[in-house]
Structure 1
Amino acid sequence: MIRINLLPHREEKRKELKSQFYALMMMSGLVGAAVVILVGLFFSAQLSAQTDRNAFITAENTELDIKIKEVANLKQEIEALTARQQAVEDLQGDRNQPVFMMNELVKLAPEGLYLTLIKQDGQRIAIKGYAQSHAVVGLFVNELNSSEWMTKPEIIQNKAVGLGQGRDAKRVIEFDLNVGIRRPRELEAAAASATDTEAAKKKTVAPKVP
């Protein structure tokens, strides 16, 4: 009877399987490491790109903030220049205000009215005087209110007093009021507004059917 010893063959087979297993494990480890490296490189590239985009947006925002600040400064300069120009125009227009004021008061003052004080303070005029009656004062206030140069008359004092002595003494009304005076540009703006209102009214009127 022939006996065959299989132990060396099995041992070699076992060693071969172990070698294959170790080789497979090593290959799997290399592949896994390669995948990890590639994924890391991919995410690193994505992160770098996002960082570049964020840096670009930040730079653009900074530049935009600078431009906005420049525009705001330019707007302030334009407003200041406009205000100075308006002040110069008002100053030139205000030179003629005393003339307009005196002419207007001469036209508006009714009979029975005597003015003792006319004083301008900015765009308000203080007026003091005497009148024959309360009705004359009321008529004067109405005339001031309807004037295109005068605006918002306000009576400060309106009382009966005695003027003169003895037989020449008379009972009159002492009044004290102030009134605003318009600038030429305010008159122009009011005229333009009235023109626009009149044009709008004409547009709203329905055409007549023949």
Structure 2
Amino acid sequence: MILINLLPHREEKRRLRKQAFFVGLGASAAVGVVVLALGYMVQQQMISSQTERNEFLSGEIHKLEDQIKDVSSLKAEIESLKARQRSVEDLQTDRNMPVYLLNELVRQTPEGMYLSSIRQEGQSVFVSGVAQTNERVSEFLRNTAYKSEWLERPELQEIKARALQSKDARDPKRLFDFSVRLSLKRPQELSAPGKAASGPAGAASGPNPAASAVKS
């Protein structure tokens, strides 16, 4: 018996190939969708983890900023207290400065030289007086420039000679009127820490010959 296939086998094969193609295409699309979904989930998880880290870092940064503000406020309070302490120390020191000044002028004024006026303006001291010779004035300038604890930077403002009335007209005597500007040191400006203590000690224990050398 001979069997004859009357169906169009070519069309059937073509249909089967199309069906397999669409099945493969659907499977590929499904796999792609699954891969995209997995990638999206992983990405969202990474974003969430990074967001948590950012929030943690932001919280720590805010804590550090608060601590920095506290430290800054403490530093400002410390500086304010130091400024007040310096003001009190300056007031206590300024109260004794006239004593130190007079004793220092007495120590540094050479013989043959007399001070007639002393005027203080802040840290500047203006003295004027009479000297027997120019050398006495020079010695006074050297003493206050290099040997004084409390005085520095002497500047000769004026010096002029005037004749002194004498019985012997052949041997006229002269005196020299002078004025000098000095800078007064503060105790904290002294080079050695012990000098600030030595000044008051000298002022308290030493004799007071100011009346013989300084005339108000």
Matching residue of 1:184: 187
Q: Which moved more, 1:162-171 or 1:18-27?
A: 162-171
**2: CA distance between counterparts of 1:147 and 1:124?**
15
Say which of 164, 168, 174 aligns to 2:177: 174
What is the SS of the residue equivalent to 1:179?
A: strand
Which deviations, in whole Å up to 9, do the C-alpha atoms of 1:109-144 show, x marking residues without a partner? Answer: 112212121112222211111211211101111121
**2: CA distance between counterparts of 1:131 and 1:69?**
63
Per-residue deviation, 1:33:
0.6
What is the SS of the residue equivalent to 1:96?
A: helix
What is the SS of the residue equivalent to 1:115?
A: strand
**1: CA distance between counterparts of 2:72 and 2:165?**
66
What amino acid sits opposite 1:86 in the alignment?
Answer: R
Aligned pairs for 1:1-210 (under 5 A) are 2=2, 4-5=4-5, 7-145=7-145, 146-162=147-163, 171-187=174-190, 190-191=192-193
TM-score normalised per structure 1: 0.76
Assess, with a 3 A threshold, how the Cα gap between structure 1 residues 162 and 69 changes in structure 2: closer, same or farther: farther
Assess, with a 3 A threshold, how the Cα gap between structure 1 residues 57 and 114 changes in structure 2: closer, same or farther: same
Matching residue of 2:203: none
Which deviations, in whole Å up to 9, do the C-alpha atoms of 1:152-172 show, x marking residues without a partner? Answer: 222222232446799899532
TM-score normalised per structure 2: 0.74
Which deviations, in whole Å up to 9, do the C-alpha atoms of 1:71-92 show, x marking residues without a partner? Answer: 2232122112112101111211
Matching residue of 1:198: none
Matching residue of 1:206: none
Q: Indicate the structure whose relative CO is greater, using CA pairs within 8 Å and at least 6 residues apart.
A: 2
Aligned residues: 192
**1: CA distance between counterparts of 2:58 and 2:165?**
85
Assess, with a 3 A threshold, how the Cα gap between structure 1 residues 183 and 41 changes in structure 2: closer, same or farther: same
**1: CA distance between counterparts of 2:173 and 2:55?**
91
Q: Which runs of 5+ in 1 are unaligned?
A: 194-210
What is the SS of the residue equivalent to 2:181?
A: strand
What amino acid sits opposite 2:130 in the alignment?
Answer: Y
**2: CA distance between counterparts of 1:24 and 1:124?**
104
What is the SS of the residue equivalent to 1:157?
A: strand
What is the SS of the residue equivalent to 1:128?
A: strand
What amino acid sits opposite 1:175 in the alignment?
Answer: F
Which deviations, in whole Å up to 9, do the C-alpha atoms of 1:98-118 show, x marking residues without a partner? Answer: 112112212221122121211
Which deviations, in whole Å up to 9, do the C-alpha atoms of 1:28-64 show, x marking residues without a partner? Answer: 1111011011111212222232233233333433432
